[in-house]
Chain A
Amino acid sequence: MSQNVTDLQTAAAEQQAEENTAARARVGATRLLRTLLRNGKALAGLSILLAFIALALLAPVFFPGDPARITSAGASAPSLEHWLGTTTKGQDVLGLTLWGARSSLFVGFAAGILSTVIGVLVGLSGAYFGKGLDDLLSLATNVFLLVPGLPLLVILAAFMPPGLGTVIVVLTITGWAGSARVMRSQAMSIRGKDYVAAAQVSGERPLRIMTREILPNMASVVMTTLLGCIIGSIGAQAGLEFLGLGDVSTISWGTNLFWATSDGSLMLGQWWIFVPSGLAIALVAFALALCNYAVDEITNPRLRRPKHATKSTAATTVARKEGK
């Protein structure tokens, strides 16, 4: 009977604590969001990103039907009818670019999120449990970090059956190690903090300590890693598909560029066929990089740009005198 009561009490206390942490995390998240919106870089990056996502979602509205359908209007320069011109096969380039955004963004985000999740799992458990498990996981991480990514991508893609799923899996296999390393070093430093020791002494389960005590405190690092992983995935996917190793039948920015070269539009001087897709990749990557730098600046005040041009050591009077 008394056992049950204490159980209930602990359960209630646990729930209370859980709500507290959850509330704290929520406050932290809204504060981060508000600071992000006040930061110029973040605002610019988020706007570009949202614009691309909106265009990707609206692609079927603007260009209904199959954008890859071959028509007779082959290789015409940009005009009022086709804003970005047509390809050698007579497909509208703007339509291909908008439709391409769907699979490119999807694969980029999916592979980026997957790599980050694996990175968090490997890094956190390695840092928390330490010893043999940590040695093993660190070794695997370092090996994958060192093996050159693109050649490995090419080899994997060559052996696996083509398809969007393969591309995502392959990108995750080559992408997780970088995030795992960052996560491990961050989790290691938090692992040594007093409140983690307190949680252990109070008998909390390892999983709970990892998710409730350690993970929320490395939110900003997870964020920058995630953004970095998405940038990497979008670039790697484009490279893979450009080499013709992705799924050539889906429309994405990478396959658009693949067809542009295999149709010889570069040699024929048809710049309008290969410019839009590459520009789209660059804009999305740039937008994500902007968000990344914004998160960096918010969490590391030293990197913020000073209002006036100063010498590096101007904070000290000695330096100021010397400078003048």
Chain B
Amino acid sequence: MSPVMAAGTQHEPDSRALSPLAPSSGAPWLALRPGPLLARHPTLIAGGITLVLILIAGVLAPLWWTGDPLEMKPAVRLRPPSAERWFGSDNFGRDIYTRTLYGSRISLTVGAAVSTLSLVLGTTLGLVVGFYRRLDMIAMRVMDGLMAIPAILLALALMALMKASVQNVIIALLIPEIPRVVRLTRASVLSLREHLMVEGARALGARTPRILLRYVLPGLVAPLIVQGTYIAASAILFEAYLSFLGAGTPPHIPSWGNIMAEGRAYVQLAFWIILFPGIFLAATVLAINLVGDGLRDLLNVR
């Protein structure tokens, strides 16, 4: 039953049976390369290591030779990167290196919170909606309506209605993500609902909540984990977009998006203000995407 076990044997038997004359490896692009986890999933490992490094950098920011991210030193404004200030300083003389490390806290928090909350809420809604036909009709039209609005515009509009705070940024990014999770869950529930085991469980007297939790939910875990990584990656990007457009994290909190947003006026004078937080942001999102791709291959999620 495990998806991992089903993965390896999917194409092999029939391609062998149909082509007795083909070399034993079958089609070269199908060959399963034996080897340790590292050799088979190099991107998963590389992404995981990068992610852990950035996580450590953010959590233990005070230990990495940083100063106070808010300390202004007007005498050393817009200084280029040097031995003293590794990433240079911004228009208030704040140290970009310090701010970038502290900024990773906000970005990682937003990414983790949005993906966890949207998975929990979206899965719950999707399970219920997929199982009750009448609710399905109404709820899915609402979801379709939400999905017709591009995520960034919806998040922007939500931020315009709320006060700027990290918590509200998470809410604004959460709402456009939920319909996508609901759709994914609902599609799986619709197919699993007709499964023989569900009918069997019902015949044995199991109630709907038990069927949903014990029979339907386990089949959803793998695709949801993969989806969760992609949601985290896009949430981190969107947080930066919102901050860049001036509708995100409040200016006194250093987030990657904020640092870059403040640096945009100084592109010609001090390019490093935008460069370094951007490198960190791109590396983080790339690492999460690589982990997501690796998990998708590992768990054999289509």
Q: Specify whether A and B are partners.
A: no
